[in-house]
Structure formats: structure tokens, C-alpha cells
Chain A
């Protein structure tokens, strides 16, 4: 069966699906994997921007499924990684332009050529979501450590289980350790306790993520970024490596941490 289809979804919007897709795609390509990313968010395409490939689009996903071009023609090769491709979403159509069966057919054709096919799901639980998960071998659910995002993740996991695609693995994005310590943010333990699924990544809040996305250079290419490291670790875990989670420290630096240790605040 060849390559693996991984869908990245969340239920709630704005939790970082597209950023996660872009970064995992790039991180896998850096590990010498052949990767194709598919933006399934038809009508609201974004992945091409985050990947810095917007100006190279000729054909899109809808052109492929409607037979106006071959999948190969819609695939945009990445500037740095010759084995990393993107099939962009159409901007002028909507989710109904593609069916779950189309996605299965498309990905089946790509499995022989690629190690990973990564699908960026739209927010929501309707047609676009069903398109995105139809072909998935594995599903990664992105959530933030806040109650509303976790609630939506729970709903999505329930839907995945009902389709025998579940429960999937969890990526906890935008984690702020100092807020967790103050009891203002759910901790990874709180979230896994609620959702009862396996964590595959904990990504810290990182101010370099947004400028990276804006400039089309995913943050995982920045070796100084902690979020970038977290995404590289997720990619290694997808390849079956055992990688410990990053010990998240606070942004305040070592001195403060030592001070708190003496104050008995460090866990």
C-alpha cells in the first residue's frame, strides 16, 4: 500500500492546523521523506501561503478531481526540498466540489510515489472534514489548551471513532508553561485526561511562528525556535522514533526558574 495518509484536523478553527501541516510536511522532508501535502480547505486556501508557494499555483485540487489536469500537474514542488510537494486547494469553489471518494481515489494514486500524504483539513465537522478524513490512515488532532478547543477535539474524536478512523493522536499547540503553572491554562495532563487519547506533540507558544508563516518559511526550518523543534519531534515520532517531549520552561530564563525552585514553586 506504500505511503501513509495523515490527516490533520481539529474541529475548531484557528488552533493551528495549517501551520502544523506545513511544519510537519517540511520536517518530514528534512528527514528525507517524500511528502505531498494536500490542502483540503477548498474556498479558504492557506497552506500555499504558509509554504511560500502561492505564486506558483497553476492547477488545484478541484482541477485534479474534475479531470482538468493530472495530479502531477497540480503538484507544486517546494523551493528547497525537491521531494516535497503541495496540491493547493481551489479558492473559487466550495467543499462540495470534492467528495470523500475523490479523496480516496487521489490519495491511492499518490501512495505509490510518496512516503507521506498529509492532508490539511478545514475547520468544522461537515463535508470538508469528511473529505479530509476519508482517506486517512492516521489522524492528528490539533488542539489548544483551552476548554472550547478541547471540547471540539472531543467531538471530532467521537466522529472519527464512529468512522473507525479513531481515536487518532493529539497535538497540543500553543502551550504556555507559565500560564499552566499559574493555573490559568490546561496542562497537557489535563487535556489527555479529558480526551483519553495519545499525545504525539506538545508545541509551545512561540512568537517566531507567525512571522515564519507570513514569510512562507515554516518555523521548523528555524533551528532556534522551540516550536520548530517540537514539530521536528512530531515528524520523528511519525517515523516511529521514540522522542521525549521537550521540557517546557518559562520564557523568563534560568535565573527566575532557580529563584522559583527555592521558593518551592517548581514542580
Chain B
């Protein structure tokens, strides 16, 4: 393998700090980073990364492809540090928290959340993969799953939860108390759903026909209706 000096990785207090070359081509940086991660996938699995791009102006599409590359490897892009306004704007546009390296007042605020979020400071997280048993997703925003949520998997979101697939696991929408939160799925056969403080166990019907449904709170209980 080629000497990889385009990417430096070190552990910091709340995750991994990845510093990338300011001059190397973005694609090469992406490839090098992917290779480093794949080489030690167990170590990186589930990690959250702070990306330091220095003064490099990173475009939104560049950052977006890097974020997707990381998410495919079960790593979240937690924040971006840069003193380039372009990079900061790109990060903000992608709902990644951004920290201006030259400024001390802007950017990251301390996280007072009771749990460790998948992505913080965001309005949502989109996961393009089936969540298998044992996988948990936490978000302070909305969660969109493009795939199934298998029994034994769990989603806890402050906002809405949309499952573009079969929902068989546990979902808690409006976890911070938002009773207007909704849960939608193309096939709603969850183990249990919760919205804000309400809990519902769906009835067991053996051979049901999959149809898109939405769960909301009405008259102090969770009701599930056809998604229209």
C-alpha cells in the first residue's frame, strides 16, 4: 500500500479527529481515508469523526460524498473544522455541525444530550441500509430509513421517523416529548412503537397485506392509519 500522508487520524475526547491534506485531490483523500477505515474496520465501526480540513475550501458535493462514504461504513461525520467559509457553508448545508477554527465563539456547543446521538445538531439523519437486530439509531432530529427496520433494531428520535421499508423493530418518535411526532412505514408491523410518552403494541394479525401506514397521537392514544 502507498504511504498515506494525505490523511491523519487521531483519537480525541469525543471521537476521532481526521485531518486531511489541504492540497491533495479530494478523490485521493477519500480513497485513502476509505482504505484506512477498511483496514481497521472494527476499530472505526460506529465511530464519529471530526473532520479538520484546515483552510481548504471543500464544496458541498465533496463533503456530501465523503459523508456518504463514512455512513456506508457505519461512521458518522460529527463535525467539520475549517477556517474556509466554503467548507463551513458546505457542512451547514449538510446538517453537519461546523466549527470555524479561527473563531472561538462560533460553532460547536457542548452536548447536553442524555444519550449519544447518531448525528447531532441536525434536523435529520438518512440511513440507506436495513437496520438489523441489535442496531440502534439515536437522533435529535428526524430519522429516515431507506431499508427495513428488522425486529430487534431500535430507533429513538426527537422528531419523526419514516421507514421506507418494513418496520418490524422498535421505534420511539418524539422522544423528547413532542406529541405531534409521527411514525410512517411502508409496512407497519413493529414490535412496539412509542410517540412521546405513549406506547403502543400493535395487534398480531398473521397474514396482513403490507400497506403504508402512519402512526400519530389522537385523543391521548397512538392510532395507526393508512398513509395518504
Contacts and interface: CB of A to CB of B under 8 A. Distances in A.
Interface of A: 100, 130, 151-152, 154-155, 157-159, 161-164, 194, 196
A161 B38 contact: no
B42 A151 contact: no
A195 to B, nearest CB: 8
Given A159-B134, A161-B132, A154 B74 contact: no
B84 interface: no
Q: At the interface, is chain A mostly helix, strand, loop or mixed?
A: helix
B74 A155 contact: no
Contact of A157 (B38, B42, B73, B132): B132
Interface string B29-47: 0000000001001100110
Contacts of B129: 161
Nearest to B46: A162
A130, A162, A196 — which one has the most chain B CB atoms within 10 A of its CB?
A162
Given A154-B132, A158-B134, A163 B150 contact: no
B42 A194 contact: no
B159 to A, nearest CB: 24
A154 B42 contact: no
Given A162-B74, A194-B150, A151 B133 contact: yes
Interface residues of B, number: 18
Given A151-B151, A151-B152, A158 B132 contact: yes
Nearest to A134: B42
A154 B152 contact: yes
A154 to B, nearest CB: 4
B130 A163 contact: no
Contacts of B150: 154, 194
A125 to B, nearest CB: 8
A162 B47 CA distance: 12
Contact of A155 (B38, B73, B134, B148): B134
A164 B132 contact: no
A100 B150 CA distance: 29
Contacts of A155: 132-134, 152
A191 to B, nearest CB: 13
A88 to B, nearest CB: 26
A163 B152 contact: no
Contacts of B128: none
B76 to A, nearest CB: 13
Contacts of A161: 129, 132
17 contacts: A151-B133, A154-B133, A154-B134, A154-B150, A155-B132, A155-B134, A157-B132, A158-B132, A158-B133, A158-B134, A161-B129, A161-B132, A162-B45, A163-B45, A164-B38, A164-B73, A196-B130
